[in-house]
Structure 1
Amino acid sequence: MPHTPPMRRPLLLALSLLALTACNNAPSQSAPLAPRPALVVTAGDIAQPGPAYIAEVRAVSRAELAFAVSGRVARLHADVGNAVRAGQLLAELDTTPLRAQLQAASSDETAARVRWQEVRQRHSRIHAAQLGQAISAGEMDAVKAELAAAAAALDAASAQRSQAEWALAQASLRAPVDGVIGSRQLAVGQSAGPGANVFTVEGSGRELSLWLPANIQLAAGQRLTLQHERQLYSGKVLRVAPTLGAGGQHQVFISAPAEAQPGDTWQVMVGRNPGHGISIPLRAVLPGHTGQPSHVLRLADDGNTVEKVAVMTGNVQDDRIQIVSGLKAGDAVVVAGAAAITPGTRVKPVLLRDGGSHE
């Protein structure tokens, strides 16, 4: 057995300790890596919009205005699209005939008042004479009847004068609420009849008015898809008219987006028809190499491991794409960062909801 010199023993001991320390500090090859978070989305069935109907945007607070008297339009002070305040003057009729009627009624009232005052004075004299037994009872009865008739004539004349004043005031049409002029059906020089709608003032709030066949039933709170100028919106049924209108149709009122303006027409998709295939966000699809199909990373059955799946794509609508084959409804696919994840990697799924929020 070879003999180790005493001077080399400390050196060998130091080298042995260094080797042992290095082994303890080396990373363990068997320690599992923590799963990385991955944003995933659930593939959903495609549903095609149902039949579309035309709805008109109207104000929740809405006033249809008409003159209460007939006459010729003399002046207009507002037009369609103008913002108006409550009490603002919108239109005026020619007041010449109405002023003449008021003058005549005032004259009749003045004459009736003079007549009543004369009879009342004579009644007072006859009454005083009756107390002195200077006249007969028949004369007193006659003057009483005359006074009653004069009073009735004065009341009638006063009523005619009040009516003429009211008619003159009605020749000015004013806005009852703050709002926007939605429609106007008269022009200067045109004759306006009492009760005929000549202005519409659209007040606060907006809603869609929709007429539907009686066989299409909607309920308050039901969600509907709206379309205007190629943009899609969501609406909700506010109320359904309890009675049917012309042609057996019923009126439905739907919430209107902020973009809706009175008088505009919007499309309302009622119901949805089954489509073909499913859809996922467009960014979840990874393009294949030359000659290779597109693919996605799908969560395997264990819910944590990603696997590469070839897919056949179809139409693109907004930020979603149709998947013709390769996936089924309910499959969870990685929607962000899929290009940086290797198939077979274990991930911690973070579910994306409603296309915008995740938890």
Structure 2
Amino acid sequence: MTRPVPDISPSAATAATTAATSATAAVAPARAGRLRTRLLVLAVLAGALAAGIVPRLQANATLSVRTAEAVATTVSTVRPASAPALQELTLPGDVRAFQDAPVYARVNGYLRRWYADIGTPVRQGQLLAQIDAPEVSDQLRQAHADEAIAAANYALAKSTAERWQDLLESRSVAQQDTDQKVADMRAKAATLASARSNTARLAQLASYTQIRAPFDGVVTARNVDTGALIDAGSAGGPGRELFHLSAGTRLRVYVQVPQDASGMAGPQMQAWLTLPQFPGQRFPATVARNAGAIDTVTRSLRVELDVDNAGGRILPGAYAEVHLSAPQTRAGLDLPANTLMFRAQGTCVAVVGAGGKLAIRPVTLGRDFGSHVEITEGLQGSEQVVVNPGDGLLAGDVVRVAQAAPATRRATAASQAR
């Protein structure tokens, strides 16, 4: 069934439109108020979220950073420095006199007198002591008497032989008798030579009763006094040392150079001495010679130095430190010994790269300076090398550098010394 359409006139339509507009105008303020309320609530909620979430996010970020820092290993690093261009060694030296000898007696007897005490400078041939040996004097007198008898017998035998040779020319004697006289003369001549030799031996032995200095030097020991019994070793034991002489105007200094440094021994090596009693003073020395072979017990090379000691300041037997230096053809880098790592692949060092990433580099060692070592291969010189690396450090680990040193202390000290 069809509903009838109402007839709407223009005036009615205008009235309806006016009424609707009035209703809409009345509703608009209410909607705006609700919208502002909603926006205000949203702003309050956003502020509350910002006040609660942002600090938490910041705290989480800070915690993450601190956790990463705590996980990363903290290391100290040092940068390599140039190793000294001179190879230097400081070794203990044995200072000895250029000539040093004990003086013994050659004859038995009693010491009659001594003429030089310890510390006395003496010249070669100077009388040091006299020994009273009457037995030697008696034997020398007997030898002179035997020599005189032998000389007389020889003279008689010689004249007899000459007469018999003259008689043989006139055929007054037999040839056999003449030969016997000539042979007797020759035997008497040999007896005379033996007697003279014995006399010379005893005269030389008698001269040993005077103890004389064998060279210019200083008496460093006197072990006898007047009236002491002198035994020259006739009892079967060693003889007693009477004096000890030392020539200290020139010294020999012996030093044992380790095998790894024996290559520096040569004419280019420079040397000097320092002694505890003269702090801060250097005594020049000259490398005279070396053994030319490594000692199989100590695995070292024996080097001998000559030192001029005309002033006598250095006493023989003193302890001295010998300083040796020689130029190096190629100097490496200097690092503290506590930077080395000993791994299966050999000697290594830990290097901190970009971003704190760790790298393990194998190196080749050169000279050993004690607390420092020379690196000849494996580093360029600009790396940050980890000091006291732990066994747990591995290549690729991220580390945090706590302290970096621009150069090693020993290299700086060595450069200042040079």
Q: TM-score, normalised by structure 1?
A: 0.54
Identity of aligned residues (%): 18
Q: Relative to 1, partners in 2 of residues 1:354 and 1:52: Cα closer, same or farther, differing over 3 Å?
A: closer
- Report the counterpart of residue 289 of structure 1 in structure 2: none
Q: How does 1:301-320 map to 2 (within 5 A)?
A: none
- Report the counterpart of residue 55 of structure 1 in structure 2: 94
- Report the counterpart of residue 184 of structure 2 in structure 1: 146
Residue 78 of structure 1 aligns to a residue whose secondary structure is coil
* Cα separation, 1, equivalents of 2:278 and 2:171: 98
Q: Relative to 1, partners in 2 of residues 1:184 and 1:241: Cα closer, same or farther, differing over 3 Å?
A: farther
Q: Relative to 1, partners in 2 of residues 1:114 and 1:246: Cα closer, same or farther, differing over 3 Å?
A: farther
> 2:279 aligned to 223, 231, 252, which one?
231
**Residues 1:210 and 2:262 aligned together:** no
Residue 245 of structure 2 aligns to a residue whose secondary structure is strand
Q: Relative to 1, partners in 2 of residues 1:184 and 1:239: Cα closer, same or farther, differing over 3 Å?
A: farther
- Report the counterpart of residue 229 of structure 2 in structure 1: 189
> 1:260 aligned to 310, 314, 332, which one?
314
Contact 1:57 1:207 in 2 (8 A): yes
- What are the Cα deviations for residues 114-164 of structure 1, in whole angstroms up to 9, with x where unaligned? 211221232233233323322111110111111111111111111111111
* Cα separation, 1, equivalents of 2:297 and 2:138: 48
- Report the counterpart of residue 119 of structure 1 in structure 2: 157
Q: How does 1:128-139 map to 2 (within 5 A)?
A: 128-139=166-177
**Residues 1:201 and 2:245 aligned together:** yes
Contact 1:93 1:171 in 2 (8 A): yes
Q: How does 1:11-50 map to 2 (within 5 A)?
A: none
Per residue, is there more helix in 1 or in 2? 2
- How far did residue 51 of structure 1 move? 5.6
* Cα separation, 2, equivalents of 1:247 and 1:198: 35
- Report the counterpart of residue 391 of structure 2 in structure 1: none
Contact 2:271 2:323 in 1 (8 A): no
**Residues 1:64 and 2:116 aligned together:** no
* Cα separation, 1, equivalents of 2:280 and 2:232: 42
- How far did residue 227 of structure 1 move? 2.3
Q: Which consecutive unaligned segments of at least 5 residues does structure 1 have?
A: 1-43, 277-323, 331-352
* Cα separation, 1, equivalents of 2:184 and 2:164: 12
Contact 1:182 1:262 in 2 (8 A): no
- What are the Cα deviations for residues 184-216 of structure 1, in whole angstroms up to 9, with x where unaligned? 455532323499665443336332422426635
- Report the counterpart of residue 195 of structure 2 in structure 1: 157
- What are the Cα deviations for residues 49-79 of structure 1, in whole angstroms up to 9, with x where unaligned? 9664242242x3x252545723235132222
Q: Relative to 1, partners in 2 of residues 1:124 and 1:167: Cα closer, same or farther, differing over 3 Å?
A: same
Q: Match of 1:64, as an amino acid?
A: A
Contact 2:253 2:307 in 1 (8 A): no
Q: Relative to 1, partners in 2 of residues 1:68 and 1:129: Cα closer, same or farther, differing over 3 Å?
A: farther
* Cα separation, 1, equivalents of 2:324 and 2:110: 44
Contact 1:225 1:232 in 2 (8 A): no
- What are the Cα deviations for residues 329-350 of structure 1, in whole angstroms up to 9, with x where unaligned? 59xxxxxxxxxxxxxxxxxxxx
* Cα separation, 1, equivalents of 2:243 and 2:292: 27
- Report the counterpart of residue 109 of structure 1 in structure 2: 147
> 1:98 aligned to 136, 140, 144, which one?
136
Q: Match of 1:189, as an amino acid?
A: L
* Cα separation, 1, equivalents of 2:214 and 2:144: 30
Structure with higher Rg: it is 2
Residue 291 of structure 2 aligns to a residue whose secondary structure is coil
Q: Relative to 1, partners in 2 of residues 1:77 and 1:108: Cα closer, same or farther, differing over 3 Å?
A: same
Q: Relative to 1, partners in 2 of residues 1:247 and 1:76: Cα closer, same or farther, differing over 3 Å?
A: farther
Residue 134 of structure 1 aligns to a residue whose secondary structure is coil
* Cα separation, 1, equivalents of 2:305 and 2:208: 33
- Report the counterpart of residue 290 of structure 2 in structure 1: 241
Which moves more between the two structures, 79-88 or 49-58? 49-58
Q: How does 1:70-89 map to 2 (within 5 A)?
A: 70-72=107-109, 74=111, 75-89=113-127
Q: Match of 2:174, as an amino acid?
A: S
- Report the counterpart of residue 351 of structure 2 in structure 1: none
- What are the Cα deviations for residues 233-259 of structure 1, in whole angstroms up to 9, with x where unaligned? 324343233356795562522536652
Q: Relative to 1, partners in 2 of residues 1:251 and 1:238: Cα closer, same or farther, differing over 3 Å?
A: closer
Q: Relative to 1, partners in 2 of residues 1:204 and 1:225: Cα closer, same or farther, differing over 3 Å?
A: closer
* Cα separation, 2, equivalents of 1:54 and 1:204: 16
Superposed CA RMSD: 4.1
Q: TM-score, normalised by structure 2?
A: 0.47
* Cα separation, 2, equivalents of 1:65 and 1:90: 13
Q: Relative to 1, partners in 2 of residues 1:254 and 1:204: Cα closer, same or farther, differing over 3 Å?
A: closer
- How far did residue 222 of structure 1 move? 1.9
